[in-house]
Amino acid sequence: MAEVGTDIQKASTYLNQGQLVAIPTETVYGLAGNALDVKAVSAIFETKNRPSFDPLILHVASLEQVKPFVSSFPEKLKRLAEAFWPGPLTVLLPRNASVPDLVTSGLDRVAVRVPNHPLTLSLLAQLDFPLAAPSANPFGYISPTQAGHVDAQLGTQIPYILDGGACAVGLESTIVGMEGEQVVIYRLGGLELSKIESLVGPVTVQAHSSSNPSAPGQLASHYAPRKPFLVGELNELVPKLTQEGKAFGVLSFSTHFPTLTSDRQFVLSPSQDLQEAAQRLFMGMRLLDESEADLILAEFVPEIGLGRAINDRLKRAAAQPTH
C-alpha cells in the first residue's frame, strides 16, 4: 500500500519526478500529477481508468498563478474567483498553448481552481507547475474524503498519500464558466448557487452530459457504489423490502429506522443540516457499499442550498452507466 503521511517535501519530490500523489482538499482527495507533463497526466487517466474525453482540473496556489495558463479571464468569473478562492469553486477559462490537450480533452477551455486546504496550498506554493487532480478513486466510483479511502482503492498504484484528515466540504467543487455573457454552472458542488448568484446575478445550470462533456464531472452516471443504488421514498421502500426479505442498506437524510441494524443504515444529518449531510455523503455511500447489504436505498434531501448538489450526486449514483 502507499505511504501515508504529512510530509509536503516528500510529496513534492515525487511530483517533481513525474509520479502521482494523492492530495487533500476541502472537497475530496485528489489524484495529483504535474499538469504540464503529458506522461504524468496520462498516468492519472490510466490509474483511475478514466476515459480521456473527461477533462481534468488544474490546481494552483493563487489567482495570480492562473495567468500563465489562460488567454483571458472574464470579469464575472474573476469576481467569483476573488470572492471564493481558496474554496470549492472551479472556473472554466479559455486556455493557452501551455496546457496539454490531454488535460482539457482537446477542448479550448481549461478548468482551474485554488483548493482550500493548508497542506495542499503549501505544496502548490513550492511547485513550479500546476497539479492536475481529479478525485483519487477508480473512475465512476464514490469520491474519497479520507486518506484511508484513497489507500483502500489506489494504494497499490501510487507511492504517497498526503494525509490532511477528513475533507471539510465532502462534495466536489462547483464548476462555472461563461456562454456568451451568461454565467453557467456545469457541475453543482460545494459552493451554493445562491452565493454565486449574489455576485453575478441569475445563472444557468447545465450539469449533465452523457458523453463528450464540456467540463469535468458532467457524466450522467458517476460517484456510484458498486451495489445497486435506488433513490425513493424510504418510508415506503423500507417496509416493502423488509417484508420481501431483501438484504438492503439505507442512506437517509435524518431518519433513523429502529428495525435496521446500525451497519445497514447511515444517517447523513440527524439535525437536518445540509452542510453536515454533504460532508458525510460519500462516507455513508462507502460504508453501505462495504456492508453485507445487496442493495442501497437512499432519499433526496431538500432541494435548497447544498441540497441541490447532494441530490445531483444521488441521481448520478442511481443512474445506469452509459459508457
Which residues have a Cβ under 8 Å from the Cβ of 32 and sit 6 or more positions away?
A: 15, 20, 21, 22, 23, 44, 59, 131, 132, 133
Topology annotation, domain 229-318: Rossmann fold (3.40.50)
pLDDT per residue as tens digits for the range 207-264: 665 555 677 876 666 778 999 999 999 999 999 999 999 999 999 999 999 999 999 9
DSSP secondary structure letters along 262-298: GGGEEES-TT--HHHHHHHHHHHHHHHHTSS-SEEEE
Choose the weakest-confidence range: 56-60, 127-131, 314-318. Answer: 314-318
Predicted confidence at residue 210, as pLDDT, reads 53
Mean pLDDT score of the chain, rounded to an integer?
94
Please name the fold of domain 3-205: DHBP synthase (3.90.870)
Average pLDDT over residues 33-38: 97
Q: What is the pLDDT of residues 216-232, one digit of tens each?
A: 876 666 778 999 999 99
Q: What is the pLDDT of residue 79?
A: 98
Domain boundaries, the chain: 3-205, 229-318
Task: Say what the pLDDT of residue 323 is.
Answer: 39
Task: Give me the phi and psi of 229, to 5 degrees please.
Answer: -130, 120
Q: Across the chain, how many H-helices and E-strands are there?
A: 10, 15
pLDDT at 320: 67
Percent of the chain at pLDDT > 70 equals 95
Band of residue 56 on the pLDDT scale cut at 50, 70, 90: very high
Q: Which residue type, as a one-letter code, is found at position 245?
A: G
**pLDDT tens, position by position, 144-168:** 999 999 999 999 999 999 999 999 9
Residue 2 has pLDDT above 80, yes or no: yes
User: What's the confidence (pLDDT) of residue 322?
Assistant: 43
Strand order in the sheet with 160-162: 3-5, 160-162, 21-23, 30-34, 131-132, 57-59, 109-113, 89-94, 174-179, 182-187, 204-205
